[in-house]
Structure formats: C-alpha cells, structure tokens
Amino acid sequence: MKTPPPAVPSRRSFLRAMLAAGIAPVLVPARVLGANAPSNKITVGVIGVGAQGTGDMRNFLSQDDVRVTAICDVNRRNLDRARKVIAEAYGREDVRVHSDFRELNADRSIDAVLMALPVHWHSIPSLGAILAGKHLFHEKPMALSFEEGRRVRAAVKKTGVVFQFGTQQRSETKFRWACELALNGRLGRIKEIQVCAPGGKPGPKYAVQPVPDHVDWDRWVGPAPATPFHEEKLKRDNHENMTPFSLGMISCWGIHHLDIAQWGNGADATGPRLVQGTGEFAAEGDHDAIQKWQVRYEYEGRAPIVFAPEGTPGFTHGIKFVGETGWVQVRRGVITASDETTLLRDPQNKYDTMPVKLRVSTHHTRDFLDAIREKRTTVCDVETALRADTLCQLGLIAVKRGRALHWDPAAERFTNDEGANALLQPRPFRGEWRLPVV
C-alpha cells in the first residue's frame, strides 16, 4: 500500500480494449479491475502470535484487502503454528518470520502492526511501530504503567497513525445499545454503574525448569526482572496473574468492562475525580497480582462506577447501568433490563428516535482497516483507550495506597499523594531495554 497504485481503467474502457484486441471477455476477475490488487492491500505485520495474537490475526486474514506479510515471536512453536494458519488462508506459506520485533518494525513495506504480546512487552514494541509510521492495532491493556500508556498516546498524536485498542466489546451491538439507553435517559438519572469481571487466579510457587530449545526465554522476559523458566509461565492465564509481567485481572479483564462503563458514562475524554478501594493479594505462590478488590470511582457531573470481581456479594458479571427508573445490564452476548418489553424489544427501531448516538462498529478489525483507508479515528482510539485504561491503573494504586486519592483528569496526576504519583511511572527496565523517547 506504500506505493500509489497505477491508474485503474474503468470497466467500460477495459472491456473496449479487450474487444479491440480480439479477446473475448468471458469472465473478468475483480482483481484485474483493481478491486483487490496487491498494491491496494494493507500489509500487516504481527508481533506476538500466541493464542490471542493468532486469534486476532485470523480476523485480519479473513479480510480481502489485507495481506499479512510478517510475523514475530520468541517461541518457535507459536511461529510454526501461525505459519500454518497463514498457509491455510493464502494457499501457500508466504510470510517473513522474525524473532526480534525491531526487525519487523524496520520493514518499510509493512503498513500496519498487530501487537499482541504479554503485558510487560506492550509499550516498547508498540512505540517502535508507531514511531516507524505504522498504524497499530494494540491489544489491551495499554501497559504496566500509566506513563507508558501516556507515551504511546503522545507517539500516536505526533505521527498521526491510526490506533485501535483491543477492547472489542465496542464493536458488539449489545454493549452500544446499553450505553445509549443510559446516555439517552431511558433509565432515568444514572445513580451508579456496577462493573464486575473475573478476579485473580491463585497459583503455586513454580519450580525451575530448563529452558527448551524452542523458546528464547531471555527475550520473552525482556524488560521485566530476571526470573527462572517454567513452562506454565508461558500460559496467558498464569503470567497475567504475576506482577513481573502484569497488573492482574483488575487490568487484563477489567479494562474490557471499565471501557464500556466509561462509554456509557459519557466519560471517554475525561476521568474520575476521586478513587478509593480495598483489595486482597495472594499470601503465597507466584501468582502475586491482586486477587480481589472493590474500587469506587467518583466523577464530576457523572455517575460513580463501582468495580469488583466475580464472587463479590451484590455483583454479577458484566456492566450494569442503574438508573432512577430502571436498569440495564450487559455482558458478551447477553443484555437484560428491568423492563425488557419497554427497553429492549425491537431496539433498533426504538433507538432511531434517541438523540445521543454512539459510533457504530460491528467488526473491530474492519473498523481499524477502514479507518486507515478513510484517514479517520477508530471506535476506540488512543485517547479513549488511555482514559479507560487509566481506571485500571488508578484502582490498583488506590488499593496499594490504602486511602482515597484525588485525581486531576486534565493534569493526569494525583493532587493529594506524591507516593501515588510515583506509581504512575514505569518500573526499571532490565538490560538493554529502554522506553523510546517521543
């Protein structure tokens, strides 16, 4: 897509030329007329082809105007599996393979990057891709620290690339419907938004295992503190509960539902003023990330959000908008309400009369690709992404500090606790790794 395509003849002039040459125009493939010529395809490189990355990659492979041309991972088994998936999609194994994301980011033939690495690796490769001028589909969450996310935002604004955050629920109709009901007053004044997501997963103290030949463990650990290898640490539901690599489920799962709460609270461009919470951490084992929590976010002129994990009394999985005259609750594939006949029956027709309309996206990957072609923002652009991700960061910091924290959403800092402000900064990076300067 980098090189402007040659002028494409109209169908009429193309057929006229064929007839003049004595060629019978029996069937003319669309690609001949320029619809999906290679020069028109968006070329995509994938950094991280584990379970999440491969699943996301399949969405790109299904799009006719995309070509996945490069993949990167430090686990050779992941690369082998991804190559087979690509071969099945394209009929041949036609992809460049890397073990160093810097090589992929330096490839000028790549238009866009899908980044789906473990959380401790989110900021450095993403910044490298953005600063190389590549559009970015960034899997959630933003990063281990607020400052890393803020730097990603600065890079996107500096370069003008398209950014899509991996909060795919914004492209599911039921979530949008629930938010529009809340924003249009169909539930009366919203008194509270309840958010409930999976909590932490306890785990053992892992023994030390020899590093297998198919894994570059030092590169996998990367900027995180050095830690012994164990095959279980490669699994997402384990390393996402370990603080060297993640903030825990308060972030990894919480970001999905907190993002929708922000959307339905009309708070995409701002944040809470007060955050306070309590939580529990595992007493032993390597799964040392937060296990349970209850956090309250208070806004100026908007409803408060209360966030707790599954198993908390009074909470059920999903996002519940509680109004003075009714409520609506939504989770993946399911939407319920206090009065389903009035609120949910034939919603598409009823919603046509509501004045507040949210951005419509029904396919998260397609929205990203169309935004590239149309030079517009996505349904979850970098500002929206960072504002939602900030709730995860603030909630965990409030639990750690054990006090009510006053947050200035414009200045993006705490006004009553410098110790809390220090926790917004990145952890020390190991070895050669540094956060790129924007």
pLDDT at 344: 78
pLDDT at 37: 62
- Is residue 372 assigned to a domain? no
135 and 240 in a single domain? The answer is no
164 and 209 in a single domain? The answer is no
Measured CA distances, 282 to 239, 290, 400 (Å): 14, 7, 14
- Is residue 205 assigned to a domain? yes
188 and 323 in a single domain? The answer is yes
pLDDT at 21: 39
Q: Give the angle 328-353-177 at the CA atoms, nearest 5°.
A: 30
Q: Name 305's Cβ contacts closer than 8 Å, sequence gap at least 6.
A: 192, 193, 194, 195, 258, 261, 265, 272, 296, 297, 299, 391
Tokens of 223: 């900027």
187 and 71 in a single domain? The answer is no
301 and 230 in a single domain? The answer is yes
Domain final residue, candidates 143, 169, 195: 169
- Is residue 150 assigned to a domain? yes
335 and 260 in a single domain? The answer is yes
Q: Are 72 and 48 in contact (CB under 8 A)?
A: yes
Q: Are 414 and 405 in contact (CB under 8 A)?
A: yes
Domain final residue, candidates 169, 197, 221: 169
Q: Name 17's Cβ contacts closer than 8 Å, sequence gap at least 6.
A: 9
152 and 182 in a single domain? The answer is no
- Is residue 373 assigned to a domain? no
102 and 181 in a single domain? The answer is no
Q: pLDDT tens, position by position, for the chain (438 residues)?
A: 654 433 434 444 443 444 343 343 433 333 333 445 667 999 999 999 999 999 999 999 999 999 999 999 999 999 999 999 999 999 998 999 999 999 999 999 999 999 999 999 999 999 999 999 999 999 999 999 999 999 999 999 999 999 999 999 999 999 999 999 999 999 999 999 999 999 999 999 999 999 999 999 999 999 999 999 999 999 999 999 999 999 999 999 999 999 999 999 999 999 999 999 999 999 999 999 999 999 999 999 999 999 999 999 999 999 999 999 999 999 999 999 999 887 877 655 565 678 999 999 999 999 999 999 999 999 999 999 999 999 999 999 999 999 999 999 999 999 999 999 999 999 999 999 999 999
pLDDT at 313: 98
pLDDT at 114: 99
143 and 15 in a single domain? The answer is yes
pLDDT at 350: 60
Torsion of CA 83, 87, 92, 96, to 10 degrees: -30
SS3 state of residue 135: strand
CA–CA dist 80, 107 (Å, integer): 21
251 and 334 in a single domain? The answer is yes
Tokens of 277: 């919470």
CA–CA dist 377, 405 (Å, integer): 32
Q: Name 45's Cβ contacts closer than 8 Å, sequence gap at least 6.
A: 68, 69, 70, 71, 72, 104, 105, 107, 110, 112, 113, 114, 134
Q: How far is CA 406 from the centre of its chain?
A: 27
- Is residue 368 assigned to a domain? no
CATH code, domain with 197: 3.30.360.10
Number of domains making up the chain: 2
CATH code, domain with 23: 3.40.50.720
CA–CA dist 86, 114 (Å, integer): 15
CA–CA dist 260, 165 (Å, integer): 13
- Is residue 369 assigned to a domain? no
- Is residue 364 assigned to a domain? no
Q: What is the CA radius of gyration of the chain?
A: 24
Q: Which domain holds residue 71?
A: 11-169
- Is residue 282 assigned to a domain? yes
220 and 188 in a single domain? The answer is yes
197 and 328 in a single domain? The answer is yes
Q: Are 316 and 323 in contact (CB under 8 A)?
A: no
CA–CA dist 66, 373 (Å, integer): 12
Domain final residue, candidates 136, 169, 202: 169
Q: Are 424 and 145 in contact (CB under 8 A)?
A: yes
